[in-house]
A and B are shown apart, each in its own frame.
Chain A
Amino acid sequence: MSGVLREPFERPSEHTSRHGPAFWFCLAIGGGCMAFGLISLFSRAATTDPPNFAVFFIGLALVHDLVLAPVLIGAAWLLRSVIPRGIRGVLFGTLAVSAVVAGFSIPFVAGWGIQPDNPSFLPRDYGFGLLVVLACVWIAAVVIGLARVRARRGGRR
């Protein structure tokens, strides 16, 4: 069982990384770019506010790795037991796309940056716009799901 399902990532270094000359060359180039970025950050500390920069730079990574991803894994694990296997794949994909689109549109729908004296900024009804995009995504999902059902039935004949 484990031989079939074991992921390549379970034994990472030998399979997915190479630490030959190309790695050290890229490390030198990339390290130089990173050093330039840090110099740029600290040389303009009055405007870049490095402590606040670090809060977002490191905080976003931690929020993703320690909060968002585990919550999604848990949610997927719970949903697996209640969603019929036949629609699970399409449903998970559609939910994921919907979540990303909704997440992107939050500041627009909420209008956090709205400028009362500038009606040309955020001129649309973004709540309605989000519903339109989600409707398109779910219609596409239904079409794909039906096509898969047809293909499966065809394959059984």
Chain B
Amino acid sequence: MSDGPSRLERIAPPRAGLFREGAFRSPLHSVRAAAVLGIALGAAFTVCFVTGFLSHLIQHPPSFFGWPARPAWLYRVTQGIHVSTGIVSIPLLLAKLWTVYPRFWTWPPLRSVPHLVERLALLPLVGGSLFLLFTGVGSIARWFPWSFSFPPAHYAAAWITIGALVVHVGAKAAATGLALSSRSPELDTGPVAAERSWGSLSRRGFLGAVFGGAAALWVATVGQTVRPLASISVLAPRDPRVGPQGLPVNKTASSAGVVHAATSDAWRLTVEGSVPTPLRLSLGDLRSMRLREADLVIACVDGWSATGRWRGVPVRDLLVLAGAPPASAVRVESLQRPGAAYAASEIDPDQLADPDTMLAVELNGSPLHIDHGFPVRLIGPNRPGVQQTKWVAGVVVS
């Protein structure tokens, strides 16, 4: 580790323009500011990655993975954290990029093979970070100015970005620790000088603005899942109090193309597959059965959630009626066109055993609104909203 110029530096042309030494004089480009923001952003991205990967596992469970029915609020919390942490990451990321921007123009651009590798990993880190936050915001705003499908693209980008972040941490961990623990004036000569000179944005002022901006965005949006804050979250794309029967809707019956089939007198619920007594039940049949009532959450992958009081028939009671063997695999199918997104869902054995996993016929004391899944919808504890299948037509046992 020599302080002298490298061979590349000796043969590099003279620095000019943005490559010129001292081109970036703002006191905000210090190692200390970069370290603080890097730690905050690294923590935020790690939280987003873990909660996002969990959501992926729940929706696409490998054979070894089981998602419990309890606690009933768990997915609401993990997905709420995923989206709200992503939102507060926006000012953190932009500030971090601003702080390290001079490094984009570092001269010479390459100093060694490891330096080349480290710089190459910056493209997936910067591009991936911007991609994840841009597409994430677009998704919760239901604005899709791209042609790829959001979930698999967001998932692939998350792995690329977290990988690039791990590489970056490997290169910067020592310097970050040093920056936060050392009093070396070399690490923030600029900022210290600036903080003494009243009138420009100091490092502390800069970090205060960044975290203040993050807090403002959090308060302005988190009410879509934290109900007490709903009235002050003026930029939240959902209000958990607003919608038919006091609950928001993600997909309407008309957009799903099920209005006619769902309101037809010919509608029947079928329970079939590997059962000795297949069932074919009308809505009246279901209403005449022993109904269960429970307060359960619709927790959307978009980060909003809302609680309703649901009444319905426990799925396990229907299986008993059909004579299904214990620990059966169960698939709930909607009236939607087969193959349409989220037209069916599987019920995990642990969820199936829970009496609150039910086919609901009422919400908040009245029959289901058609946009909430009339005549019958699946509702269960600790399930993503996309797995709370609406307009149920059949239960298939295997």
Q: Interface on A for B, CB 8 Å cutoff? A: 2, 4-10, 12-20, 22-27, 29-38, 40-41, 44, 47-49, 52-53, 55-58, 60-61, 64-65, 69, 72, 76, 85-86, 88-90, 92-94, 96-97, 100-101, 104-105, 107-108, 112-115, 117-124, 126, 128-130, 132-133, 136-137, 140, 148, 152
- Interfacial chain B residues near A113, Cβ < 8 Å: 138, 141-144
Bound complex: CA A68 to CA B147 (Å):
24
What residues on A are CB-neighbors of B103 within 8 Å? 9, 12
Residues of A contacting B: mostly: helix
What is the minimal beta-carbon distance from B60 to any residue of chain A, in angstroms? 11
Quick one: closest A residue to B189, CB to CB?
Answer: A4
Decide if B124 is an interface residue (CB 8 Å cutoff): yes
B25 within 8 A of A: yes
With a CB–CB cut-off of 8 A, which chain A residues contact B217? 100-101, 104
Q: Would you mind naming 28 contact pairs between A and B with Cβ atoms under 8 Å apart?
A: A5-B25, A7-B29, A7-B102, A18-B171, A19-B112, A31-B167, A33-B162, A33-B166, A36-B159, A47-B152, A48-B148, A49-B148, A56-B135, A57-B128, A60-B130, A69-B101, A69-B104, A85-B199, A100-B91, A101-B213, A105-B235, A118-B252, A119-B242, A120-B242, A121-B142, A121-B249, A132-B234, A137-B212
B interface residues with partner A (beta carbon < 8 Å): 1-3, 21-22, 24-26, 29-31, 34, 87, 90-91, 94, 97-98, 100-104, 106, 111-112, 114-115, 117-118, 121, 123-124, 126-128, 130-131, 134-135, 137-138, 141-144, 146-149, 152-153, 155-175, 186-190, 193, 198-202, 205-206, 208-209, 212-213, 216-217, 220, 234-239, 242-244, 247-250, 252, 254-255, 371
- Enumerate chain A residues within 8 angstroms of B135, measured Cβ to Cβ: 56
Tell me, in angstroms, the Cα distance from A128 to B234 when the chains sit together: 8
Given A15-B175, A26-B166, A132-B234; A5-B153 close (CB under 8 Å): no
A64 surroundings in chain B (CB, below 8 A): 97, 126, 130
Q: Which residues of B contact A26 (CB under 8 A)?
A: 166-167, 169-171
CA distance A129 to B167 in the complex (A): 40
Task: A27 to B166: give the CA distance in the assembly, Å.
Answer: 7
Contact in complex: A122, B106 (CB < 8 Å)? no
Q: Which residues of A contact B121 (CB under 8 A)?
A: 27, 30
Nearest-CB residue, chain A, relative to B97 = A64
